[in-house]
Amino acid sequence: MAQFVDAALAFPTVLFTFLLLVIIAYWLLVVVGAVGIDGDIDTDAAEATGAGGLLSSLGLGGVPVAVVVSLLVVVAWFTSLVGGVLFTGTPALVGVLLVALLCAWACTRLIVPALRRLTPKERVPSRADFVGRMCVIRTTRVGKDFGQAEVTSPDGSSALIQVRQTGDDVFAAGSTALIFAYDSPGEFFWVMPYDAELDPDRH
């Protein structure tokens, strides 16, 4: 046991030992529910910045950053531990450090594609999500070329949208309407009269 501790605290393993302890503590907190897993998955818009951007440039993007960092640290620690036991001397140990970093990257890059397939992609909200929802008219009228309404999205946030109607129904400010279609070229929603009491989201 003493030899193991000495090896874990010797160069170059010691560089990864403290990182490994942090990783272990983090996952223990995840298990007990004290913290949540960093579930941010890199997207095309975000891959150019931050830790996610660095990992993506190394071919390690597409899975939570915490998982990738954990794999890198574990593989680097184990490789440096074995190398530190087998080799002695500063030049050799510096070589062990470089090999440990290379092995960590190579092994993690082999594992990431499998994890990427298992990681569900976060669905990006779209305007089509408003179709089928009730909205509240905010203008004095709604016609074929004018109208605005307020709609509440599934996550509870509200948005002011452009609305139009196909008929000659009368929409007063504060009245309710049902969004039944979205016009992409015009960037507005088609609405029809709707009784708010019939909205299932109100119950």
Question: Domain-by-domain residue ranges, the chain?
Answer: 2-118, 127-202
Those residues whose C-beta lies under 8 Å from the C-beta of residue 11, and which sit 6 or more positions away, are 84, 93, 97
Element (H, E) at 15: helix 14-32
Element (H, E) at 114: helix 90-118
Reported as a single tens digit per residue, the pLDDT across 47-81 is: 444 566 678 788 888 888 889 999 999 999 999 99
184 vs 35, more confident? 184
The reported pLDDT for the residue numbered 61 is 83
Question: pTM score, two decimals?
Answer: 0.56
CA quadruple 176, 177, 183, 188: dihedral, nearest 10: -20
Task: Say whether pLDDT at 8 is over 80.
Answer: yes
Percentage of the chain beyond pLDDT 70 is 83
- CATH class of segment(s) 127-202: mainly beta
When the pLDDT of each residue in the chain is averaged and rounded to a whole number, the result is 84
What is the arithmetic mean of pLDDT over 22-32?
A: 90
The reported pLDDT for the residue numbered 126 is 76
Task: Say whether pLDDT at 129 is over 70.
Answer: yes
What is the arithmetic mean of pLDDT over 126-149?
A: 91
Q: Which among 97, 109, 117 is positioned nearest to 57, based on CA atoms?
A: 109
The reported pLDDT for the residue numbered 42 is 39
- The 3 state secondary structure assigned to 18-59 is HHHHHHHHHHHHHHHCCCCCCCCCCCCCCCCCHHHHHHHHCC
Terminal C-alpha separation, the chain: 63
